[in-house]
Amino acid sequence: MQRTDHGRREGEGRGRITAALFLGIALGALVLMIIARQAAPSFWNGWAGQLLGRATKIDVSQPTVVSKIQQLQRLETVVYTMDKVVSGEKVNPVLPDFLAGDRLLMVVHGEVVAGVDFSGLKSGDVAVKNSKVVLRLPSAQVFSTRIDNQRTKVYSRETGLLVPVDPNLETQVRQEAERQMQQAALLDGILKTANTNARNTLTSLLQGLGFEHVEFE
């Protein structure tokens, strides 16, 4: 029984010595690494730097791409500036215009703004694979048609001798001018231009995020 206890104590002693030896070696290696880093930076950067160096990895996940595009919100990509002559009149079915008519001629200056609204973009509209991204863009739309009041002038106004000036006629002419300007912009292909410009803008944005290939559906 005494021999067994004695052997056990000897085994525990050897274990402690071995653990202390390994601990001492590890601490010594750590001290040498610290000294080498301070005393010889070039050696550290060349040898130890390769041993302990870390590779850089950038994870461009799909939700991040969607978030970046959504931050653009309503991207205005094209503005049409237009001048147009618009007329409006009130007529009487019985009396001639010089007695009961009201005619207005207006020179209108305004602009039509179009672009793409990215606020409704979903994750399924963006597909990412390595350095390639494929997007399904929302359709381009007209955001606004505005008349520049400072550059819009009433060119002439003719009112019959028997009737007062109609205060609503100018407002109605302005509304018709906005409609005609928007229609003219649509016929001239403003939505196609807006879509092309949106693609160019997104291509630059995504290439800046690290994508080499950008495609649109």
Considering only the C-alpha atoms of the chain, give the largest distance between any 2 of them, rounded to a whole number of Å.
138
Domain co-membership, 130 together with 206: yes
Structure tokens at 25: 């070696």
Q: Is there a domain that residue 97 lies in?
A: yes
Domain co-membership, 180 together with 122: yes
Question: Between the CA atoms of 160, 164, 165 and 168, what dihedral angle is there, to the nearest 10 degrees?
Answer: -120
pLDDT in tens, 158-214: 888 887 888 888 888 889 899 999 999 999 999 999 999 999 988 888 888 788 888
Note if the pTM is more than 0.85.
no
> Which residue, 26, 52, 78, sits at the end of a domain?
52
Domain co-membership, 100 together with 16: no
Domain co-membership, 81 together with 107: yes
Domain co-membership, 201 together with 97: yes
Domain co-membership, 204 together with 102: yes
Rounded Cα–Cα distance for residues 67 and 6 (Å): 71
Domain co-membership, 193 together with 212: yes
User: For the chain, where are the alpha helices, taking DSSP H only?
Assistant: 2-39, 41-43, 49-52, 62-70, 97-100, 169-187, 190-208
* Other residues' Cβ atoms within 10 Å of the Cβ of residue 143: 18
Structure tokens at 108: 């209108």
pLDDT in tens, 117-164: 988 778 788 888 888 888 888 899 999 999 998 898 888 888 888 878
Rounded Cα–Cα distance for residues 83 and 156 (Å): 17
Domain that holds residue 90: 62-216
Cα 64 to chain centroid distance, Å, stands at 12
Domain co-membership, 20 together with 85: no
| Mean pLDDT over each residue of the chain, to the nearest integer | 78
Mean pLDDT of all residues in 68-75 = 75
Domain co-membership, 120 together with 161: yes
Domain co-membership, 43 together with 83: no
| Nearest alpha-carbon partner for 105 in 177, 26, 161 | 177
Domain count, the chain: 2
